[in-house]
Structure 1
């Protein structure tokens, strides 16, 4: 589900982000970025699992957003995924907020 809130486009991501689901997520992220929002927030609260393929999709979505001058951030990242981001150093590339409201406050949501 995607909603527009202020200047932010918020997308709720759910389910498992793994090698089997990455084609689906890749297509959804591409659609989201193509909508042309300047600030994109991925709400990951309902992501139950994320392996290296899922992490790669998140990084790829950020690169796609960067390419069009958009800012893509993560919010509500589950603890296991947050640890993965920290262990891999991806938390230095992907900006993470505790809540969607925190991200919106920074970007004028």
Structure 2
């Protein structure tokens, strides 16, 4: 199992955060803190690149939705990109596949924010 991590880069007007590892009840505290720190940077547009997520359960989904709510409350826009198929199915089944918005690629997400 890969250690949970969030690596950030700036691309155009977006802060891109590549999330890696499993998002579950064990990594919940790690990701919750990393997302809080990420949002605290004050960036207006945040793209979570989930291509490195190998597993996500309900606790992981809750952390993602919590990050979206926190960003929204602070006036930022947080979107998901490169969502692995199993997680995409969970988002669709729970009816939260449009909140936050989901993009096929980071480039697609960046284009919405003016790259």
TM range (shorter): over 0.9
Query: Which of 75, 81, 97 does residue 75 from structure 1 map onto?
Result: 81
Post-superposition shift, 1:93?
Answer: 1.4
Where in structure 1 do 4 or more consecutive aligned residues deviate above 6 Å?
Answer: none
Higher RCO structure (Cα 8 Å, ≥6 apart): 1
TM-score by length of 2: 0.93
Task: Count the aligned residue pairs.
Answer: 109
Is 1:64 equivalent to 2:70 in the alignment? Answer: yes
Give the structure-1-normalised TM-score.
0.98
Distance in 1 (CA, whole Å) between partners of 2:55 and 2:17 is 17
Q: 1:40 aligns with which of 40, 43, 46?
A: 46
Higher helix share: 1
**In the TM superposition, what is the alpha-carbon distance from 1:108 to its structure 2 partner?**
1.4
* Per-residue CA distance 1:40-76 (angstroms, 9 max, x = gap): 0000001000000000000000010011100000000
